[in-house]
Amino acid sequence: MVLTSSRTTRAVSLFVAVFVLQFLVAVDMSLVNIALPAMADDLGFTATGLQWVVNAYLLCFAGFMLLGGRLGDWFGRRRVIVVGLIVFAAASVIGGLAAAPWVLVAARAVQGVAAALLAPAALALVTTISDDTRRKKAMGLWAAAGAAGGAVGVVASGLLTQWWDWRAVMFVNVPIIVVGLVATWRGVAGHDEHDRSRLDVLGGVLITASVTALVFAVTSTDIHGWTSARTLIALAAATVLCAWFVRTERKAPLPLMPPRLLATRSILGANVFGFMLAAGQLAAFYFCSLYVQTVWDVEPAIAGVLFLPFCGFVVVGIAVSGKLVARFGPRNTIAGLGALGALGLAVFARMPADFDFWLGILLPSAITATGIGGSMVLLGVAGTAGVDARDAGAASGVLNSSRQLGGTFGLAVLVTIAARATLPRDGYQLGLAVGAVFLLVGSVAAWLILPRSTEDADVAEAVTTAGI
């Protein structure tokens, strides 16, 4: 009887750990959005510098995610999770106490590194559950945590900024982390087998440095132009580092990104689309949060609540995606839903000068979120369908990294373009319009690259199995 109770407690703790880990990394992608204007006013961020509060997290998250997964295999998942949570908590406290822009950006970067340790571990915990029923429940919790994190993050950002201070969006991570630490210690085994294959640390550093240099080059064009020595040097550095990364991955015994993966059309198409999708999605959150506060002069708490329809229609998109796949196939469904999301961003780009909930928020949210939500959930399923078992983890990691890197690079480009506008309103609308173009290009690319011979029945079954 006692033994059964102990097993039940451990199982519940494991479920809580899975949920909290995924919720934490997801919520911090959107937790700062509504607080951005307050951060800019308090710390003195420039228009182009402010984006790094978002980008620093995404960049380090993406660059070190593949390496983070391997560290879990190397040192044991419980140990890596505990370290990741402690580092995340420390970075959150430092960021909340920041007195200069660079301190906050550095803290967000460290949060991204910690998230790169936690995200792969959360999914790995799900896959290691032997009982089929419990594994499906854990997968449902994992998926729900990701969706809930994005929704709660935006709303909480507004409420905390208005009722307390922007610093609260950093401090609020601490109690979440405490729950995660307790659940991990009780529910995650501390004696899991370790894989002692050589770590591809160099690959993780090179890909992160390459993207950082590229993003720096893009953001530099706003002041220095494309032909300046600063921009050209950064572009050259990005090119050299990327070439070095490719060379390293070809020779590494266990590469972070096996080159053979991108030779598969399904994986290549999924990664191209995921890159563009993330760029468009972040544009919606970033520019809309600034628009409603600076143009409509809406209080932060109300601004956060205005994003609830967007979150609700993401669920609608997820709900209809399985039925659309069964009828039209994954290739056509992904491209179609992506195009729908692009249309919604184009409608967002026409936001009126005065507050209008129906035309400025509800209508574009319904269109954009349905398209993005549906295509996002299908992306992972179609992008890993038919992948060899030995490459399944790598394929998933590469896809997640592409999405984070797409968000980072896309936001850098869009903010740079928007900054050239004479009026802030014009810049926000231009950023949303270009974001729509990004997503449309990604949709067309997905339709052209994804193989027509994809096993539609297998993908539809996978979607259903995932609980979609």
d(CA 168, CA 165): 6
Q: pLDDT tier at 249 (50, 70, 90 boundaries)? A: confident
Average pLDDT over every residue of 115-142: 71
| Residue pair 54/282 in contact by the 8 Å Cβ criterion | yes
Is it the case that residue 113 has pLDDT exceeding 60?
yes
Instruction: Return the top range by mean pLDDT from 28-32, 91-95, 97-101.
Output: 91-95
| Residue pair 262/387 in contact by the 8 Å Cβ criterion | no
| Residue pair 84/184 in contact by the 8 Å Cβ criterion | no
Number of helices followed by number of strands (H, E) in the chain: 19, 0
Is it the case that residue 455 has pLDDT exceeding 50?
no
| pLDDT score of 396 | 63
- 181-185, 244-248, 410-414 — which is least confidently predicted? 410-414
Q: pLDDT tier at 340 (50, 70, 90 boundaries)? A: very high
| pLDDT score of 2 | 47
Type of residue numbered 322 = G
- 32-41, 265-274, 406-415 — which is least confidently predicted? 406-415
DSSP 421: S
Is it the case that residue 448 has pLDDT exceeding 80?
yes
Q: Select from 284, 254, 215, 184 the least CA-distant residue to 49.
A: 215
Q: pLDDT tier at 442 (50, 70, 90 boundaries)? A: very high
| pLDDT score of 88 | 94
Type of residue numbered 311 = C
d(CA 244, CA 238): 10
In the three-class reduction of DSSP (H, G, I as helix; E, B as strand; rest coil), residue 64 is classed as helix
| pLDDT score of 391 | 59
Average pLDDT, the chain: 80
Average pLDDT over every residue of 392-406: 69
| Residue pair 368/384 in contact by the 8 Å Cβ criterion | no
Average pLDDT over every residue of 10-18: 79
Type of residue numbered 393 = G
Average pLDDT over every residue of 130-146: 66
Average pLDDT over every residue of 239-250: 88
Structure tokens at 280: 């468009």
| Residue pair 267/388 in contact by the 8 Å Cβ criterion | no
Higher pLDDT: 343 or 138? It is 343
Higher pLDDT: 378 or 232? It is 232
Q: pLDDT tier at 456 (50, 70, 90 boundaries)? A: very low
pLDDT > 70: what percent of the chain? 80
pLDDT digits (tens, 9 = 90+) for 289-312: 888 888 998 887 788 788 888 878
Higher pLDDT: 175 or 405? It is 175
CA angle in degrees (0–180, nearest 5) for 142-116-99:
115
pTM listed for this prediction? 0.77
d(CA 181, CA 189): 13
C-alpha torsion angle, residues 137, 141, 142, 147 (rounded to 10): 140
Is it the case that residue 382 has pLDDT exceeding 60?
yes
Is it the case that residue 383 has pLDDT exceeding 70?
no
Structure tokens at 392: 């399944």
